[in-house]
Amino acid sequence: MAPFAWSRERMSMNLRVVLVEPLYEGNVGSVARAMKNFGFEELVLVNPCSIEDFGLAMASHARDVLLAARRVCSLEEALEGANLVVGTTGKRLEEQQRHLRLHLRVPCLTPGGLARKLQGKEGTVALLLGSEDCGLTNDDLAICDLVVSIPTSMRYPIMNLSHAAAILFYELYGVEGGGVEMAHRESLLLLQDRFRSLLQEAGYPEHKVEFTQLMLRRVLGRAELTEREARTLLGVIKNIRWRMDSCESGPSPQDPE
Amino acid sequence: MAPFAWSRERMSMNLRVVLVEPLYEGNVGSVARAMKNFGFEELVLVNPCSIEDFGLAMASHARDVLLAARRVCSLEEALEGANLVVGTTGKRLEEQQRHLRLHLRVPCLTPGGLARKLQGKEGTVALLLGSEDCGLTNDDLAICDLVVSIPTSMRYPIMNLSHAAAILFYELYGVEGGGVEMAHRESLLLLQDRFRSLLQEAGYPEHKVEFTQLMLRRVLGRAELTEREARTLLGVIKNIRWRMDSCESGPSPQDPE
């Protein structure tokens, strides 16, 4: 297709594209090309297929993006330093049904809805795309703050990986960064860890802890927590735990009876 | 990518995808796949490359769309029966500058803008995508009622053909048909023909006729003419021409002096 000359460079949030165990080098190259078409540069590959001449050919003038891609061995490594983790899936209905039974609400957005949500935010958004054969696993999706899905025809919903990526980049290209600093991933992980401890110390049924934690992650994902809010919540939990601890060790001198 | 199960079949306008002289069978197959992902089926190929195993492999489960594609030798043949012809281009800026000198306003829409424009309309929309090396020619674009362009990064605006197609299908998937019958292409062509005759009979400078006609096509494209409106305009032109003709042959008996 001829050059799309109606272009401008914009300040946008930093998008990190994470391909989880991609199987075909042609797709990896095509994703790199689509990234550069929309001004995105940070590509991370988790245990990728080997990338040789065909992958580079498909990247076309985005060889630089492909060659600069960081290769890692685990998803956790790929997500270091990210403020928000967004998973992509086509399992929406299925997943929703599974989660509905568990009383969890999965915030599954359209690409346009995701773009609107990120408008005005500052930070690094990791966008996860799964392998060509089965997409992201449920374990992968469980660590995502948000989940995005492209509405397609029921008759043939299985999209090519790079087509799905191009549509997401197209929508995210319009997003302009702003002054609202998203919570750091480290703060969110700490919050989850402290929340788990709080549940355990409060005698919350052990078999419900994991699901309640996942629910919290979804709620916080939808809430688009800022760093300041995350720190405040950490303070609240610390206070509650301290209070519970002092109650258990008997009334403290300053407690009125 | 895993199946996008968040799907529904919707009533939509009929989209005819026209690939003009595509060079690579892989791209043709990929476009067919993306069409089926978004529920579109009518594919027309104008003087295409030969399509063999690789093209069919890229079409994946949309082999049926690819195998049913109509092959034609001219763009005119591809457009028969279409109500609206939409060209795709990346030459927006360049073209606009060229046309500004000619006092023409090119209605270059974003994919989202095109979708909004087609909402509630009834009829066949032919979406033209040019060859991979240079896109649609200026002559191809001149016969389009509307032109659409995808906003991209300035640093690398050249998109893969099937990526551009997938983004357009994604936007057009949301369009629901309605009761507003778009003017038939035949009526629009007749209108252009009659308008040209009118200009000539009115003594309009011959060297301006072509550009004024192109301007009319753009204006009517933007106006989203219905069939009824097209017929009314044909009636108006007929009336004016008849009147001019009778004036030239001297005052008719029923004309008051």
Q: What is the ipTM of this complex?
A: 0.77
What is the arithmetic mean of pLDDT over A94-102? 50
DSSP character at residue A135 = B
Contact list in A for residue B150 (CB cut-off 8 A) is: 4, 170
Structure token digits, residue A202: 């409060």
| Gap between the Cα atoms of A166 and B150, Å rounded | 12
pLDDT band at B102 (very low <50, low <70, confident <90, very high): very low
CB within 8 Å: B7 and A157: yes
Structure token digits, residue B220: 């009517």
Q: Which of A9, A156, A161 sits opposite B153 (nearest CB)?
A: A9
Q: Which of B94, B161, B170 sits opposite A5 (nearest CB)?
A: B94
Looking at A163, A181, A199, the residue that finishes a domain is A181
pLDDT for res B210: 85
Q: Which residues of A101-115 are buried (b: 16+ CB within 10 A; e: fewer)?
A: eeebebbbbbbbebb
CB within 8 Å: B173 and A160: no
Give the count of beta carbons closer than 10 Å to the beta carbon of residue A206.
Answer: 9
Contact list in B for residue A111 (CB cut-off 8 A) is: 170
Burial of B103 (0-12, 13-18, 19+ CB in 10 A): exposed
Q: Examine the domain organization and report whether B160 and B100 are in the same domain.
A: yes
**Total domains present in chain A:** 2
pLDDT for res A1: 43
Contact list in B for residue A152 (CB cut-off 8 A) is: 4, 6-7, 37-39, 173
SS3 per residue for B30-75:
HHHHHHHHCCCCEEEEECCCCCCHHHHHHHHHHHHHHHCCEEECCH
Contact list in B for residue A93 (CB cut-off 8 A) is: 5-6
Whether A8 is in a domain gets the answer no
Whether B9 is in a domain gets the answer no
Q: Which of B93, B135, B156 sits opposite A37 (nearest CB)?
A: B156
Closest CA to A90 of B2, B26, B124, B101: B2
Contact A6/A35 with Cβ under 8 angstroms?
Answer: no
Whether A25 is in a domain gets the answer yes
| pLDDT > 70 in chain B, percent | 86
Whether A177 is in a domain gets the answer yes
What is the arithmetic mean of pLDDT over B162-169? 98
Q: Examine the domain organization and report whether A136 and A213 are in the same domain.
A: no
Contact B126/B80 with Cβ under 8 angstroms?
Answer: no
Closest-CA distance, A89 to chain B, in angstroms, reads 6
Give the residue numbers spanning the domain of B73.
Answer: 14-181
CB within 8 Å: B39 and A90: no
Q: Which CATH number do you get for residue A139?
A: 3.40.1280.10
What is the arithmetic mean of pLDDT over A32-50? 97
pLDDT for res B252: 52
Whether B253 is in a domain gets the answer no
Q: Examine the domain organization and report whether A136 and A242 are in the same domain.
A: no
pLDDT band at B143 (very low <50, low <70, confident <90, very high): confident
Q: Which CATH number do you get for residue B211?
A: 1.10.8
Q: Which of B6, B30, B93 sits opposite A151 (nearest CB)?
A: B6
Whether B256 is in a domain gets the answer no
Contact list in B for residue A38 (CB cut-off 8 A) is: 152-153
Q: Examine the domain organization and report whether A58 and A176 are in the same domain.
A: yes
CB within 8 Å: A30 and B160: yes
Q: Is the pLDDT of residue B10 over 80?
A: no
Closest CA to A91 of A27, A48, A142: A142
Q: Examine the domain organization and report whether B86 and B126 are in the same domain.
A: yes
CB within 8 Å: B158 and A2: yes
More confident residue, A127 or B200: A127
CB within 8 Å: B90 and A5: yes
Q: Examine the domain organization and report whether B143 and B190 are in the same domain.
A: no
Closest CA to A105 of A185, A254, A219: A219
CB within 8 Å: B61 and A163: no
Q: Which residues of B80-93 are buried (b: 16+ CB within 10 A; e: fewer)?
A: eebbbbbbbbbbbb
Looking at A126, A157, A181, the residue that finishes a domain is A181
Structure token digits, residue B186: 């035949």
Q: Examine the domain organization and report whether B138 and B243 are in the same domain.
A: no
Whether B234 is in a domain gets the answer yes
Q: Examine the domain organization and report whether B243 and B143 are in the same domain.
A: no
| Gap between the Cα atoms of A193 and A153, Å rounded | 40
Closest-CA distance, A193 to chain B, in angstroms, reads 31
Whether A5 is in a domain gets the answer no
Q: Is the pLDDT of residue A150 over 90?
A: yes
Q: Examine the domain organization and report whether A49 and A147 are in the same domain.
A: yes
Contact B257/B251 with Cβ under 8 angstroms?
Answer: yes
CB within 8 Å: A130 and B174: no
The values of phi and psi at residue B182, to 5°, are -65, 150
Q: Examine the domain organization and report whether A112 and A204 are in the same domain.
A: no
